[in-house]
Structure 1
Amino acid sequence: MLRRTLLATAALALAAGGALAQDDPVKAGFIYVGPIGDGGWTYEHDQARLALEEHFGDQVETVYQESVPEGADAVRAITQMALSGADIIFTTSFGYMDPTMEVAAKFPDVKFEHATGYKRSDNVGTYSARFYEGRAVQGLIAGRMTETNKVGYIASFPIPEVIRGINSAYIHAKKENPDVEFSVVWAYTWFDPAKEADAARALIENGADVILQHTDSTAPQAAAQEAGNVITFGQASDMAEYAPSPRVSSIIDNWAPYYIDRVQAVIDGTWESDDTWDGIGPGMVGIGEISSAVPEDVKADALALKDSIASGEYHPFTGPLNRQDGSVWLEEGEVADDETLLGMDFYVEGLTGEIPN
């Protein structure tokens, strides 16, 4: 009789929406491309993991593996996490896309969430942030504050996410300063402090007095501090230990609300594969405090730009804009569509150099 009662209770719970009371906590796993102490990308994902634990308490158990290389090593790490009993696994770097899909096909009852990719299935969702919105704000400040008219940009890999950021920063720097020039160094790494520092020093030696980065360590900040008279921007995390100079502001990735929402869906039995791409407005992209090293008029204009993006009044990719070869991309007042932005593989007019294959 007791067994029949329990089965009936379970059936009613499932019929009500798939949620089923259980004593065991939901197990959420995280695969990180860098160390949790990188001060940037992985640090912020791990801060969100800790926020997840704080929010749910005993309802959720989290596990993570840091510094997992993209490729075959990722397949092994994700597989091991699935075998360990994870209910949902967040794979937090673009290069984990195919490994995530491969492992997910073998574990249909596990939910997977992949950051910054575009491949989905019934048990794989995707999520990213509109970092290019923050790059627009950085570009405005860079264009106004450079004295040499030379801005250096340390880029990780030539994927649309990174190319969008370069274009957005350049467009808004150019609006403020028609004489500005960008030099892009491709580091081919997300996290390599020595390589990132070398890239920053090379750009500074070539005259750049502003350094932007799409890599994860604080090494470019330290290199700029050593050089003096160079400003930088925190990437993914605030990097505020280098404020008020060289770090004058930052892009801050806020993943905690998303992680809490998706784990709640697992608890409730309502999780479905989805694609999320949020920006400043919803709070997934934050703009770190603009430091006292920035003149008040520049700060005011940067904050006004931030607010207009957040409200939807302004889109960072609004025409007229041409491609690098001079061909028309966007007419006056025309706004880029998400499909083009998600696949962006070209520079806008004015940027020099070629995008590597």
Structure 2
Amino acid sequence: MTRRNMLKAGAAAAALPLIGIPRAFAQEKLKVAFVLIGSPDDNGWNFGHEQGRKKMLEAIGADKVDTTVVTNVAEGPDSERVFRELAQQGHKLIYATSFGYGDYVHKVAKQFPDVKFEWATGNATAANVSTYNARFHEGRAVIGTIAGLMTKTNIGAYIGSFPIPEVRMGINAFAIAARKVNPEFKLKVVYVDSWFDPAKEADAARALIDQGVDVITQHTDGPAALQVAEERGIVGGFGQGADMSAFAPNAHLSAIIDNWGPHYIKSVQSVLDGTWVESSVWDGLASGEVEIGPFNKKIPADVVAKAEAVKAGIIDGSIHPFAGPLKDNTGAERVAAGDVIDDGEFWAVDWYVEGVEA
């Protein structure tokens, strides 16, 4: 059972009286809340948002912003109560950092039109609700290139949380990139129906390795699968959300690192400036919201060079992770040669590309 915590972060000096400054001129700090599905010590998704919060405070100053972090909030009706209580407590900007919060965010936002809400990985905005996301699939294309070149069995694995658009995007981008450099590559997908369940993730990793998998990536928040990869001595795997090499120094090949700092800085500053507007932000490798972690020294130099070339191509626009021709795993053409899956089409993709077993 998880335990919910509410953490306050601000300047120690904020508790001192404002000597000699008339009360009318004392500027009230902006109250900002972060609602997390797990704990910042997961070394993955929630850790990334916590690092982003800290970068925001460092850049803007704890003398201007007071933050509250609520952890272990499940994606369900109870989250509605959390959002409502935060709004009632005077928070003027509330970040909902998981997809499953969406219905509850929109419900509470209607009741508090003067409060700004931002929904991570969301797909619907409102007058006081914005969405923000990162192009994780761009990072998946980089690490998929490594997987396709490093595998010895030509069988990789993708441990997913839930079959939502974001996760399907990651699966497809990873498989496409791997098969570009290794047409024999196949990707087995297993969903564990949780963002963070170390036991399930570890069991899935063991079962997949028993089926011949020697490269594992994940769309879950902890390092359990990597730890199994380390124990079993397979080629390796990739961290999710943060550099997880400390948990599997030999198996950890690289990682997709979430850098939420730039967005949180811009977003909070816009509220302070009175310029915040409803928007949908979707940044990636080019703007630094998605980063690729250090490469394991055991990766050959030519493989690193090819991965770096994919990264550079995505940044300069010469490579698109979903450029056609693309077939799905039934053999039907989904994207014609010369075409791409554009931003507006991503969220409707409910199929898997050729080579994926899901």
Under a length normalisation based on structure 2, what TM-score does the superposition of the two structures give? Answer: 0.91
Deviations 1:130-166 (A, max 9, x none): 1010111111100110111110110110011000110
1 CA distance for matches of 2:190 and 2:48?
24
Which residue of the other structure, out of 341, 344, 347, is the alignment partner of 2:346? 341
Deviations 1:284-330 (A, max 9, x none): 11011111021110001000110110111111001111223322222
* Counterpart for residue 225 of structure 1: 230
- 2:32 matched to 1:28? yes
Secondary structure of the structure 2 residue equivalent to 1:217: coil
- 2:184 matched to 1:184? no
**Contact 1:244–1:293 (CA<8 Å) still a contact in 2?**
no
* Counterpart for residue 133 of structure 2: 128
2 CA distance for matches of 1:308 and 1:175?
14
Amino acid at match of 1:266: V
Secondary structure of the structure 1 residue equivalent to 2:291: strand
Unmatched 5+ stretches in structure 2: 1-24
Secondary structure of the structure 2 residue equivalent to 1:345: coil
Which residue of the other structure, out of 138, 142, 146, is the alignment partner of 2:143? 138
2 CA distance for matches of 1:112 and 1:22?
26
Amino acid at match of 2:149: R
Secondary structure of the structure 1 residue equivalent to 2:241: coil
2 CA distance for matches of 1:199 and 1:22?
56
Change (3 A) 1:245 1:333: farther
* Counterpart for residue 107 of structure 1: 112
Change (3 A) 1:244 1:299: farther
2 CA distance for matches of 1:223 and 1:324?
28
Post-superposition offset of 1:243 = 5.7
**Contact 2:227–2:248 (CA<8 Å) still a contact in 1?**
no
Deviations 1:162-217 (A, max 9, x none): 00110111111111112111111111100111111111111112111101000001
2 CA distance for matches of 1:257 and 1:173?
30
Following superposition, which runs of at least 4 residues in structure 1 exceed 4 angstroms of deviation?
none
**Contact 2:133–2:282 (CA<8 Å) still a contact in 1?**
yes
Amino acid at match of 1:60: V
Which residue of the other structure, out of 59, 65, 68, is the alignment partner of 2:70? 65
- 2:42 matched to 1:38? yes
- 2:220 matched to 1:215? yes
Amino acid at match of 1:24: E
Deviations 1:66-87 (A, max 9, x none): 1100011111111111111101
**Contact 1:243–1:291 (CA<8 Å) still a contact in 2?**
no
Secondary structure of the structure 2 residue equivalent to 1:170: helix
2 CA distance for matches of 1:244 and 1:67?
28
Secondary structure of the structure 2 residue equivalent to 1:235: strand
* Segment of structure 1 superposing worse, 281-290 or 318-327: 318-327
1 CA distance for matches of 2:201 and 2:56?
31
Post-superposition offset of 1:22 = 5.9
* Counterpart for residue 121 of structure 2: 116
Post-superposition offset of 1:274 = 0.3
Unmatched 5+ stretches in structure 1: 1-20
**Contact 2:30–2:64 (CA<8 Å) still a contact in 1?**
yes
Post-superposition offset of 1:105 = 0.8
Instruction: Name the Cα RMSD after superposition.
Output: 1.4
- 2:209 matched to 1:204? yes
Amino acid at match of 2:34: F
**Contact 2:128–2:278 (CA<8 Å) still a contact in 1?**
yes
2 CA distance for matches of 1:161 and 1:143?
22
- 2:324 matched to 1:319? yes
- 2:172 matched to 1:167? yes
Amino acid at match of 1:189: S
Secondary structure of the structure 2 residue equivalent to 1:89: strand
Query: Percent identical across equivalent pairs?
Result: 49
Deviations 1:209-263 (A, max 9, x none): 1010000011111111111123010101111314642111110111001001000
* Counterpart for residue 260 of structure 2: 255
- 2:300 matched to 1:305? no
Secondary structure of the structure 2 residue equivalent to 1:211: strand
- 2:48 matched to 1:52? no
2 CA distance for matches of 1:330 and 1:132?
17
Post-superposition offset of 1:113 = 0.2
2 CA distance for matches of 1:87 and 1:22?
18
Secondary structure of the structure 1 residue equivalent to 2:176: helix
Change (3 A) 1:22 1:335: farther
1 CA distance for matches of 2:68 and 2:26?
19
Under a length normalisation based on structure 1, what TM-score does the superposition of the two structures give? Answer: 0.91
Amino acid at match of 1:30: F
Post-superposition offset of 1:108 = 0.5
* Counterpart for residue 331 of structure 1: 336
**Contact 1:197–1:219 (CA<8 Å) still a contact in 2?**
yes
Secondary structure of the structure 2 residue equivalent to 1:125: strand
Secondary structure of the structure 2 residue equivalent to 1:37: helix
